[in-house]
Structure 1
């Protein structure tokens, strides 16, 4: 094997969460008579809580009552994800089974709060596949900074340059590439920008396509 570990983002990559989350954000905006600004919303994908707040405040302006919007959004979101399995994305199980069969250690590096990430993975039946879970609340700087991927690699006992990273968002890709990992991007709601494409990582339509490439003799 050319790599010694594989580290995965969670929302939008392993789980089809981003559409659920965006729908709930729209509902929260409607409840509070706040316009839904799609461009602003798409810019938060892949960021931690602090980054999300900053982008939304910048995008909506100083008149936004962010604490009220955030509370409504979180209430509705947790009511769903704490009690219902989010659908698993195409190719996830086969890739994880293939890595397990080759004794490649795996980890999740997600901006989501640890308790919620654990619930999501358990309800989806994915927790059994991972040796480690690293979350945004455990690092000083979230994605697009490399800290979360560096910590995940350290916990697996592997050098970052010997790790594969799988991401869907542009912010996540920037994080993984900055950590010097071989990075695969599987775009979800947001297509890679010109600047992100210039990073030179692998862009594939699904994890199934990535597996086909990795398993090739």
Structure 2
């Protein structure tokens, strides 16, 4: 099948933000005399705000007042991502320019709030590559539910099955696979678990390899048919 659009996650896939976010969380735990539960933290990657709250509340139990923890966390995270250009991940610019040259519409589907997502993309200098942006505040169900990918495909006016999806997290991969997209996973902080690997999607070390993979298999068709 020829694919007619490309949909990208943002944090950890396009932008190297996950380490910034994790460090801010770790510092907040230290400030509040809380343990840093790494496995619990890593399981929130790819989730929207409600999903993050649910996982952290369950993981920390009565050790935390979630709102106090979240405020301490965001007070450390937002000053960085609202004012500094976060580096793009390896292969991002080459892939975006290649897809643009192939006249393939592109979208972002991120669990991040819309205003912050726009700020991050603009500071990084890649906002103008994308034809649409779908964010966690615009859907009822966060990843691993497919809703945000289905919304992104709808906004591009392309059938989900004709979309390529690029993700780093296991939650994001589950969402994109459930949306019936052709999925490429480029792991960041978390390696794909055996359950996710069993989904049979593509797993690559970086986005650098994607143009070669797509050209080799002849899976792109220019524009929207």
Quote the residue 2:44 is aligned against.
44
1:171-195 CA-to-partner distances (Å, cap 9, x unmatched) read: 0000000000000000000000000
TM-score, normalized by length of structure 1? 0.98
Quote the residue 1:140 is aligned against.
140
TM-score, normalized by length of structure 2? 0.95
- Structure 2, gaps ≥5 residues long: 219-225
Offset, 1:61 = 0.7
Quote the residue 1:186 is aligned against.
186
- Cα distance in structure 2, aligned partners of 1:214 and 1:95: 11
1:153-202 CA-to-partner distances (Å, cap 9, x unmatched) read: 00000000000000000000000000000000000000000000011100
Quote the residue 2:169 is aligned against.
169
Please give the residue correspondences for 1:5-44 in structure 2 after superposition, counting only pairs within 5 Å: 5-44=5-44
Quote the residue 1:114 is aligned against.
114
1:94-121 CA-to-partner distances (Å, cap 9, x unmatched) read: 1000110011000000000000000000
Quote the residue 1:158 is aligned against.
158
SS of 1:62's partner is: helix
Quote the residue 2:222 is aligned against.
none
- Which deviates the most, 134-143 or 59-68? 59-68
Offset, 1:71 = 0.5
Measured on the aligned residues, the alpha-carbon RMSD in Å equals: 0.9
Offset, 1:2 = 1.4
SS of 2:137's partner is: helix
1:58-107 CA-to-partner distances (Å, cap 9, x unmatched) read: 10012311100001101111110000010100000010001100110000
- Cα distance in structure 1, aligned partners of 2:211 and 2:23: 30
- Cα distance in structure 1, aligned partners of 2:47 and 2:210: 24
Quote the residue 1:204 is aligned against.
204
- Structure 1, gaps ≥5 residues long: none
- Cα distance in structure 1, aligned partners of 2:154 and 2:41: 32
